[in-house]
Chain A
Amino acid sequence: MIDPQYFDDLVTTATAGLVGDEILLASLDAEQTDFVRFNQAKVRQAGNVRQSTLGLDLIEGARHTQATVELTGDRETDAGRTAAVIGLLREQRAAVPEDPHLIVNTEPASTTHIGADSLPDHGDAVAAIVDGAGDRDLVGVYTSGPTASGFANSLGQRNWFQTSTFNVDWTFYLRADKAAKAGYAGFEWDDAAFDRSLRDAAGKLDALGRTPIDLAPGEYRSYLTPAALEEIIALLSYGAFGVRSQKTAQSSLLRLVAGEDHLAASVRISEDTAGGIAPNFQEQGFLRPDEVVFVDAGRATDALVSPRSAVEFDLAPNGASTDESPRSLAIAGGDLDADDAIAELGTGLYVGNLWYTNYSDRSACRVTGMTRFATFWVDGGEIVAPVNVMRFDDTLYSLLGSKLEALTSEPEFLFDNSTYERRTPASAKLPGVLVSGMKFTL
């Protein structure tokens, strides 16, 4: 995989070819990924992907144009491609007007992080997965390998962030849609930890084998696991916490930001870069602070401010990417011991996972979605039976507001398992949520 020296040399060479007062910003996303996809504990697809994408932003005065180009790892080829694209950007610049929202970080702040490569041997990991499944119906995917993000500019700034991670994202299926989902991810494989996750999931299969219950639509006392809460938070991550969407009334937290509504006083939501696994710089070279707090004591506080939005709305940038989406979202824990969650739930719904969340009413932050995988009816603090899938439709102001009873004390660290275009180092740190009522409609 491309290393920091290669990236440095590439940008240095490109910088030497700049003309006049041009400034060049360059970003890089690279990965070397091995993957194995499973169905019924057999291999469905296996292989690897090597890719490196260079982003370029060529600036002169207030005019600029951008491009991405795939790199090969061959110095001569990549230098040629980079020069050709810069030539195109220079040509295109003549056709574009000045950008009033352009801002350049002119104070170089170079950083380097290269995490240890302690990844397991792929053969050993795959064997552990297949052996661990035994005769169970395991379906899922194993990914492993290094990823890197880089930034460099013609002003001398250099940033590099490289980690080597693995992620086993899998489900044990009992029959039809009755299944227990689990995950095991990290930097260094631990057989004991993986065995625990296998046992936890297998343990749920016994309860999933009982006759399932069909619940009538209505409002039910519920406990949402951290994984279930993640499905709701992932929806909000598309725009709700960004200042651009907030200032243009497109954020689903519109009423929270306006002070018309609030969450429970125990709710604190933040972008916790210091506690996450994402790079501490964004694609224009602005550094991310350790933390940006979105909600404190249930009230809106700050938002993610990209460099463009900072100019557009006369604010200070806080290291947000252009999309103003969190990469390391965290919700603070409360005082409920996770081991006591089912007992505290008493009678109600244990929601292991949610699925396919979307808005019923964006302005009201009313969210709909489905229960999925291990969702159980609980009575007297004991799991009774699995519940057939149900559609919920409720607001964040209810689930993390008026109906919130407790948050678990130790938020769970959840690796982002998304692999669209490439693996990206992102995570969430979320507690379980006990609510006195959650609305189900179908």
Chain B
Amino acid sequence: MTLIEMVPTDADELARRLAAALPSDVDEATLRVVDESSEWLRVRRGTVLPTRSGFDGGAMITVWVDGGFGHAATSDVSDAGLRLAAEAATRWARATSGHTVPVAPPELRRSGIYHSPVTSTWATTDLADRIDLLRARDAEMDLGGDIVDHGASLGRRNVHSVLVSTAGGVIDQTFNFTYPNLHVTAARGGDAQTRTYGAGSFCGQGDAEVLDRFGFHTAAAELAHEALALLDAPNCPTGVMDLVLAPDQMVLQIHESIGHPLELDRILGDERNYAGTSFVTPDMFGTFRYGSDLLNVTFDPTVEGQLASYAFDDDGTPATRQHLIENGILQRPLGGALSQRRADLAGMPLDGVANSRACSWNRPPIDRMANLNVEPGDQSFDDIISSVEHGVFLRTNTSWSIDDSRNKFQFSTEIGQVIRDGELAEIVRNPSYRGISREFWRNLSGVGDASTFAVMGTPNCGKGELNQMIGTGHASPMCRFSDVEVFGADR
């Protein structure tokens, strides 16, 4: 996809140009450039939609002066463009001096690199072949009858990010992302049922090998058969029962009811006007029982091929694996260097993680999830199913909602299956469940082993003002929860 060099990415040149663009009296400054190319292919109902390529690039300059700081983002990375950006960032830094939340320059002096692992490069597959691949999957879902819509899509992005600082630091990271998806809808009368390929969660870093991780090449027909079967299936039963969640539903359960409430910028109040606050308070770390003893959650940017793996965050902090929740006890928040410093100054010293991330060159970094994973336990799929007397097994998220403090949630999935006396029984449609985060996780009563574990991601997590959409990784085994309020649709 590399067609145009949208921005220069030679670190020495960038450092020289940053220095040349800055006024002489700034305390510290960073320049982060992002060069991104992308390709989005889609086939729907047998028609190849127009291919869409993308070429994006620009620079973010951040300046610290006298306790204030300012950002300026520009797509003009010429010397003149960078000088204008540096002047604008400096103006904002001076204007905010004395009026900001506590800030400090990152003093970024270290250097490092990262490359996404790629084992099966897209470069050996030409565009016509990629389109043919999608046409074949799309055709496999065209079973006729009540199938009213179907489609296959493939997105890929190559992102090169270079961060340099006036303190001498250089962070150079290159990412390859691949996003495959399938969808098929069956409808009859006033009802429609849709099945997808993991609701977009079967994505990751890497090239064509990402498609093999979840069986993209063989999934289509089964999804179409399931959509048809759901039209004839009974509604999900209503009542309090055991709930078994597949990894492609656990993704959203982790994301919404563990990930967001642990973001330190939310705990510090930054997101209260938009994404929300958190029921978690600083005093809870180290003592609060978030879940049952079976719950172990890691921040792990080192998982090979997961969507949000990296070596450094966008402040240049080295990224390492950390337990956020260990044996059910809350250990540390998702807070980058700035949030940790703010918490410390507020008398709440907390160890955080390297999760200060920006969605692109045109947004400043904020605390984000990266890879947030539930660690596997020791139960097989059969162990978990056979342990349930009365319950449901739910797969593939289709709806999610949670309050602004991340307590009261409700989720729906595309497909359910009744578990009766330890065995999987009939499939059911329109399954939903609701609960309160801490009660739900404390009722975690079974955690699947490595054979049930899947490494996935959420490509579109929204947060921040200015708004930012970013990819987060989630890996999980299948899990069992006891005494959950489950329900179906009205008809």
Please report A residues at the B interface, Cβ cutoff 8 Å: 33, 35-37, 39-40, 42-53, 57, 64-74, 77, 81, 84-85, 88-89, 92, 95-97, 99-102, 123, 126, 130, 137, 139-141, 143, 169-171, 173, 176-177, 179, 181, 248-250, 254-255, 258, 260, 312, 355-364, 366, 368-370, 372, 389, 391, 393, 418-421, 441-442
Q: Determine if A130 and B430 form an interchain contact, defined as CB atoms under 8 angstroms apart.
A: no
Q: Determine if B3 and A71 form an interchain contact, defined as CB atoms under 8 angstroms apart.
A: no
Known contacts A46-B70, A67-B53, A92-B53: does B194 contact A250 (CB below 8 Å)? yes
Measured CA separation A81–B55 after assembly (Å): 9
Q: Determine if B81 and A372 form an interchain contact, defined as CB atoms under 8 angstroms apart.
A: no
Which of B4, B69, B191, B276 meets A84, CB within 8 Å? Answer: B4
Min CB distance A392 to B, Å, is 10
Q: Determine if A99 and B55 form an interchain contact, defined as CB atoms under 8 angstroms apart.
A: no
Q: Determine if A366 and B72 form an interchain contact, defined as CB atoms under 8 angstroms apart.
A: no
**Cβ–Cβ < 8 Å partners of A101 in chain B:** 47
Interface string of B399-438 (1 = CB under 8 A from A): 1111111011010100000000000000000101010100
- Residue B178 lies at the interface, judged by CB distance under 8 Å to chain A: no
Min CB distance B411 to A, Å, is 9
What 9 pairs across the A-B complex have the smallest Cβ distances? Answer: A47-B71, A249-B187, A248-B149, A141-B465, A249-B192, A361-B489, A95-B128, A140-B273, A67-B53
Q: Determine if A65 and B362 form an interchain contact, defined as CB atoms under 8 angstroms apart.
A: no
Measured CA separation A370–B410 after assembly (Å): 10
Which of B48, B74, B277 meets A99, CB within 8 Å? Answer: B48
Interface residues on chain B, number (Cβ under 8 Å): 85
Which of A42, A74, A77, A92 meets B51, CB within 8 Å? Answer: A92
Min CB distance A233 to B, Å, is 16
Interface string of B40-76 (1 = CB under 8 A from A): 0000000111111111111000100000111111111
Interface string of B182-213 (1 = CB under 8 A from A): 00010100111010000000000000000000
Measured CA separation A156–B277 after assembly (Å): 51
**Cβ–Cβ < 8 Å partners of A50 in chain B:** 73-76, 85
Min CB distance A357 to B, Å, is 7
Q: Determine if A170 and B403 form an interchain contact, defined as CB atoms under 8 angstroms apart.
A: no
Measured CA separation A100–B76 after assembly (Å): 38
**Cβ–Cβ < 8 Å partners of B262 in chain A:** none
Known contacts A360-B412, A362-B192, A419-B466: does B490 contact A65 (CB below 8 Å)? no
Which of A48, A361, A370 meets B401, CB within 8 Å? Answer: A370
Please report B residues at the A interface, Cβ cutoff 8 Å: 3-4, 6, 47-58, 62, 68-78, 81, 85, 88-89, 92, 95-96, 99-101, 126-128, 131, 148-149, 185, 187, 190-192, 194, 268-270, 272-274, 276-277, 362-364, 398-405, 407-408, 410, 412, 430, 432, 434, 436, 462, 465-469, 489-491
Measured CA separation A442–B185 after assembly (Å): 31
Measured CA separation A68–B39 after assembly (Å): 10
Q: A72-B78, A248-B185, A357-B401 are in contact. List 6 more A-B contacts (CB 8 A).
A: A35-B465, A39-B269, A47-B73, A92-B127, A250-B194, A369-B401
Measured CA separation A51–B49 after assembly (Å): 27
Measured CA separation A36–B93 after assembly (Å): 11
Q: Determine if A74 and B78 form an interchain contact, defined as CB atoms under 8 angstroms apart.
A: yes
Please report whether the interface of chain A is mostly helix, strand, loop or mixed according to DSSP. Answer: strand
Min CB distance B88 to A, Å, is 5
Most buried by B among A40, A51, A366: A51
Q: Determine if B75 and A66 form an interchain contact, defined as CB atoms under 8 angstroms apart.
A: no
Q: Determine if B3 and A88 form an interchain contact, defined as CB atoms under 8 angstroms apart.
A: yes
Known contacts A48-B72, A250-B149: does B55 contact A85 (CB below 8 Å)? yes
Q: Determine if B465 and A95 form an interchain contact, defined as CB atoms under 8 angstroms apart.
A: no
**Cβ–Cβ < 8 Å partners of A47 in chain B:** 62, 70-73, 88-89, 92, 364
**Cβ–Cβ < 8 Å partners of B58 in chain A:** 51, 70
**Cβ–Cβ < 8 Å partners of B490 in chain A:** 361, 364, 366
Q: Determine if B50 and A389 form an interchain contact, defined as CB atoms under 8 angstroms apart.
A: no
Q: Determine if B273 and A96 form an interchain contact, defined as CB atoms under 8 angstroms apart.
A: no
Min CB distance B69 to A, Å, is 8
Measured CA separation A78–B99 after assembly (Å): 39
Measured CA separation A149–B81 after assembly (Å): 22
Known contacts A47-B89, A393-B410: does B127 contact A95 (CB below 8 Å)? yes
**Cβ–Cβ < 8 Å partners of A66 in chain B:** 50-53
Known contacts A64-B50, A67-B54: does B401 contact A419 (CB below 8 Å)? no
Measured CA separation A102–B49 after assembly (Å): 9
Chain A residue at minimal CB-CB distance from B128: A95
Min CB distance A102 to B, Å, is 8
Min CB distance B1 to A, Å, is 9
Min CB distance A398 to B, Å, is 11
Measured CA separation A419–B398 after assembly (Å): 25
Min CB distance A113 to B, Å, is 24
Q: Determine if A254 and B276 form an interchain contact, defined as CB atoms under 8 angstroms apart.
A: no
Measured CA separation A19–B247 after assembly (Å): 51
Min CB distance A22 to B, Å, is 14
Chain A residue at minimal CB-CB distance from B469: A420
Measured CA separation A389–B404 after assembly (Å): 9
Chain A residue at minimal CB-CB distance from B490: A364
**Cβ–Cβ < 8 Å partners of A358 in chain B:** 399-401, 410, 412
Which of B71, B273, B404 meets A139, CB within 8 Å? Answer: B273
Chain B residue at minimal CB-CB distance from A244: B149
Q: Determine if A391 and B408 form an interchain contact, defined as CB atoms under 8 angstroms apart.
A: yes
Min CB distance A352 to B, Å, is 13
**Cβ–Cβ < 8 Å partners of B71 in chain A:** 45-48
**Cβ–Cβ < 8 Å partners of A173 in chain B:** 269, 272
Min CB distance B48 to A, Å, is 5
Q: Determine if A360 and B399 form an interchain contact, defined as CB atoms under 8 angstroms apart.
A: yes
Measured CA separation A141–B364 after assembly (Å): 14
Measured CA separation A45–B400 after assembly (Å): 29
Which of A51, A176, A255, A368 meets B75, CB within 8 Å? Answer: A51
**Cβ–Cβ < 8 Å partners of B430 in chain A:** 361
Q: Determine if B270 and A44 form an interchain contact, defined as CB atoms under 8 angstroms apart.
A: yes
Q: Determine if B54 and A68 form an interchain contact, defined as CB atoms under 8 angstroms apart.
A: yes
**Cβ–Cβ < 8 Å partners of A176 in chain B:** 277, 405
**Cβ–Cβ < 8 Å partners of A130 in chain B:** 99
Q: Determine if A418 and B55 form an interchain contact, defined as CB atoms under 8 angstroms apart.
A: no
Q: Determine if A69 and B4 form an interchain contact, defined as CB atoms under 8 angstroms apart.
A: yes
Chain B residue at minimal CB-CB distance from A73: B76
**Cβ–Cβ < 8 Å partners of A45 in chain B:** 71, 364
Min CB distance B135 to A, Å, is 9
**Cβ–Cβ < 8 Å partners of B434 in chain A:** 391, 441-442
Measured CA separation A379–B465 after assembly (Å): 37
**Cβ–Cβ < 8 Å partners of B69 in chain A:** 46
Measured CA separation A414–B191 after assembly (Å): 33
